[in-house]
Structure 1
Amino acid sequence: MKVLFFSIAYMILKFEMVPRHISERLCVLRGYGIFLSLCCLIACCLTAPAMAASQWDNNDYAQTRLILGGYDRERQELYLGWHVRLTPGWKTYWRSPGDAGLPPRWSWNEMSNVQEVELFWPTPEKYSIFGMETYVYTYEVVLPMTLRLDDVGRPTVLDLGIEYMVCKDICVPLQARHQLTVPPLAGTQINSDEAVLYAHYQSLLPRVHDTNTQPFFKLRHVEAGKLRLSVTNNTPVQKETTVLIEGPEGVTFSVPQPAVTEGGRLFFDIYYQLDDETLTLNGQNVRLTYIPGRGQAIETVVVVEP
């Protein structure tokens, strides 16, 4: 595009500058010098890449921003990510942090041209300290988001406030604010580095489990305040498997403790406490994230049996 503008400008300038006398030549030079400058400006504007990320929000412990990972015009979807870079030695928390820590909290100050936002969580790391187990991200992470748009022909304006916690020897609550305007999708360019970064962390999401395929999960009561999760799988048992459990409001779960039966079946004992003794877990849905020692994590929902 730039070459085209420069070529047109040069041909017009060369054709018009047939000398009659010095004053006319100077007028032409001055006039078409301005024209050439405008051509340069227009060329730069037309080829400038669209903003693919918000500004970094920086502090002593982390830096965060929103990045644009891609889009799908037919599905009217925009793919964003909350990108976190942590200072070495510091960590931040998964959506259900475990025995300590706080998950990120989101507050949209503005969100125009958006019908719905769905947030996804890459598989976390397990971190143990002083007998407590937490689920964290270290070094760097991107939390992918899918935004379903009202109209792909309109710009999308976003203003996001986030509260999050980072920990090392101490824990520090932090706040960040990210503003990003994404042009209509037909004119949106994707930064290749950010697209690759987004795709990498999207590949670390647990896969949604098909309940008709192995492994099969069964969660039942053993006694009051204690559940047992049985896992049936034809593949060899991996004792380093981790299970993360999330249930209804008002229920606190212990860290699932793995064991293997004589027949080689893997199970986990899970203790829980109810904030209200009138509550019951029987028949309630519980979300499990099953993280084998090797391979992709699985996310599924099981019903608690009596």
Structure 2
Amino acid sequence: MLCLTALPVMAQDLPPGLVSAELLPGWETPQGHRITALRLELEPGWKTYWRSPGDAGMPPRFDWQGSANLAQARLIWPRPEVIDSGGERTLGYHRQLLLPIELLPAGPGPIEPRVTVDFGLCLDICVPAQVALVPPPPGADPDPRIQAAMALQPRQSEQQPDCRIDPIADGMQVTATLPSGHGDDDSDVAIEMADEQIWVSAPELGRQGDRITARAELVAGTGKPFAVDPADLRLTLIDGGDAVEFDGCRMKD
């Protein structure tokens, strides 16, 4: 494990592909929340992954157990890039990840955050990496870099896709039809479950008239069919420089 106090981890301490890693100082809101951001700077050609990277990627995992006065850490993911890795489609980031994080206090007084992050780094091969980070004290004013990254999070849609959910041999299959007017032939879709222990395949995309369809398999640890609440599904449409999130879906026969 790589440990530090208020300083970023520099290149000589890190695995190949990672130049530096840090939690930015950020600022405190009038409500007493702390805004910070994980900043990973990568070597040219290297990439790291989004929260739901697809079949081949390694989603980041965050452990905040060493923190004091912390009730919740909310990750505000900027929209990902669609990356072709040897013919496999993954979702992630080249050169840099700047991930805003909103920290909510457990009680009165300042939050003292400390996090261990496990994540993947890829060039021709993928390697696991881990960093342990503590941010410097918060600044007096909002950080425009973090604000810019927050503005890149997917837009939230009030609509819901139409869904079919069917059992398969080792789990369930969901087929989602996005609302009309969303996406084109160059778009990509991610499907996620609220339960992160359930594996979700990279969707197969198709069309139903003028609407995009996305079909994915959901597999739990039991390796058997299981009940799926459509409200627990989240779909993200990545369309060039834009992204839209749909929470839940409407069941169709």
TM over 0.5: yes
> Is the Cα contact below 8 Å between 2:116 and 2:131 reproduced in 1?
yes
Q: How far apart are 1:98 and its partner, in Å?
A: 1.1
Which structure is richer in relative contact order (CA contacts within 8 A, separation 6 or more)? Answer: 2
Q: Where do 4+ consecutive residues of structure 1 move more than 6 Å?
A: none
**Distance in 2, Cα, partners of 1:113 & 1:222:** 43
Partner of 1:268: 214
Which structure 2 segments of 5+ residues have no match? Answer: none
Secondary structure of the corresponding residue to residue 113 of structure 2: strand
- Number of aligned residues: 239
1:173 and 2:152 correspond: no
- Structure 1: stretches of 5+ with no match in the other structure: 1-52
Using a 3 Å threshold, how does the CA distance of structure 1 residues 231 and 303 change in structure 2: closer, same or farther? closer
Distance in 1 between the 2:198 and 2:72 partners?
28
The 3 A distance-change label for structure 1 pair 249 and 171 is closer
| Letter aligned with residue 210 of structure 1 | E
1:208 shift after superposition: 2.6
RMSD across aligned positions (CA) = 2.8
1:260–1:266 contact (8 Å) kept in structure 2: yes
Question: Is it true that 1:57 corresponds to 2:9 in the alignment?
Answer: yes
Residues 157-196 of structure 1 mapped to structure 2, 5 A cutoff: 157-180=112-135, 182=137, 188-190=139-141, 195-196=143-144
**Inter-CA distance 251–146: structure 2 relative to 1 (3 Å threshold):** closer
The answer (yes or no) to whether the contact 1:283–1:304 under 8 Å persists in 2 is yes
Percent of residue pairs bearing the same amino acid type: 25
Question: Could you give the per-residue CA deviations for residues 184-222 of structure 1, whole angstroms, max 9, x where no partner exists?
Answer: xxxx424x7xx11101111111123223xxxx4111147
**Equivalence for 1:93:** 49
> Which residue among 74, 85, 92 is the counterpart of 1:136?
92
TM-score for both structures, normalised by structure 2: 0.80
Of structures 1 and 2, the larger Rg is shown by 1
> Residues 154-211 of structure 1, C-alpha deviation per residue, up to 9 Å, x if partnerless?
443222222222111122222212123536xxxx424x7xx11101111111123223
Structure 1 segment 123-272 matched on structure 2, within 5 A: 123-150=79-106, 154-180=109-135, 182=137, 188-190=139-141, 195-211=143-159, 216-221=160-165, 224=168, 226-233=173-180, 235=181, 237-247=183-193, 248=195, 251-261=198-208, 263-272=209-218
Q: 1:304 to 1:128 in 2, by over 3 A?
A: farther
In the superposition, the TM-score normalised over structure 1's length comes to 0.68
